[in-house]
Amino acid sequence: MKKIASILVFVFFTITSSAQSLIPMKYGIKVGTNISNIISTSNEGVKNIETSSQIGIAGGFYMEIALNDKWYINPELIYTQKGASFDYNFTHDYEINHRDEHNTTNELKLAYVELNPTISYKTAYKIALNFGPSVSYLIQSDYIPNEKHNSEIVGHELLEESIYTEESLDVGVNLGISYYLSEYFLIDGKVNTGFMKIGEVSQVTYKGSAANEDRSNVFELKNINIVFSIAYLF
């Protein structure tokens, strides 16, 4: 997958270099708000997590490269905050005939550097329709688990906290729309959907010893985001 990302970046810079030799480019900055969430897939027989969105910031550099009077390439290099809050429940069975019900609340905070080589089609009504791939590289992650249990046993067995295993690369697609308030000032909104697994949350329990490790709650996560931005071109 890293090879695919490298090819996308190479093709992107090849296209922009060719376009630059024919038509002048506009440069700009872009800032906005990212409403992020995650899509989860659980292992068989396990109830999936319940998620709630997080709000982060997104901003960086923006270019507008005209191919003709309708079609443009609008590459972005953006810092963006993603993640979500989520809950899931699990049970822990003891060797003696007893079971505990555990409730967890979790917060996942992620930060990426994201390259979006967006293709835009401008209509006659100051509106542009945008689509294109997205390549994101993880630069920071913070996973905060919080577990509660209901137990009748005074000497309750201590369990391991859930574990988040991260992936550094995410590849997805952007679909959106822009409105030009003027030649140099625009607002836009887009939906970003990730195709790759960004990480995995698992609950580790030990049945008797560490050699008998059991990961009965495994959730594979993917990114999904809605971004609202403003951009100014020079």
Q: In sequence order, what DSSP letters do the residues of 80-119 get, joined into one string?
A: EEEEEEEEEEEEEE-SSS-EEEEEEEEEEEEEEEEEEEEE
Task: Tally Cβ neighbours within 10 Å of residue 116.
Answer: 27
Q: What angle do CA 100, 104, 110 make, to 5 degrees?
A: 150
For 168, other C-beta atoms within 10 Å of its C-beta total: 13
Lowest-confidence pick of 114-118, 134-138, 159-163, 216-220: 159-163
pLDDT mean across residues, the chain: 86
Report the pLDDT value the prediction gives residue 102, as an integer from 0 to 100: 80
DSSP string, 17-49: HHHHTTS-EEEEEEEEEEEEEEEEEEPTT-PPP
Q: Which residues pair with 169 in a beta bridge?
A: 137
- What's residue 12's pLDDT? 53
Helix (H/G/I), strand (E/B), else coil: 63: strand
Residue 203: what pLDDT? 84
Binned at pLDDT 50, 70 and 90, residue 21 comes out as: very low
| Burial group, residue 42, by CB count within 10 angstroms (0-12, 13-18, 19+) | middle
In order of 37, 149, 206, 216, the CA distances from 103 in angstroms are 20, 6, 18, 15
Residue 15: the pLDDT is 52
Query: What whole-number distance in Å separates Cα of residue 83 and Cα of residue 144?
Result: 11
Domains of the chain (ranges, CATH numbers): 2-233 (2.40.160.20)
- DSSP 3-state of 198: coil
Please give the model's pTM, rounded to 2 decimal places: 0.84
pLDDT in tens, 205-234: 655 555 556 666 899 999 999 999 999 999
Tokens at residue 50, please? Answer: 């319940």
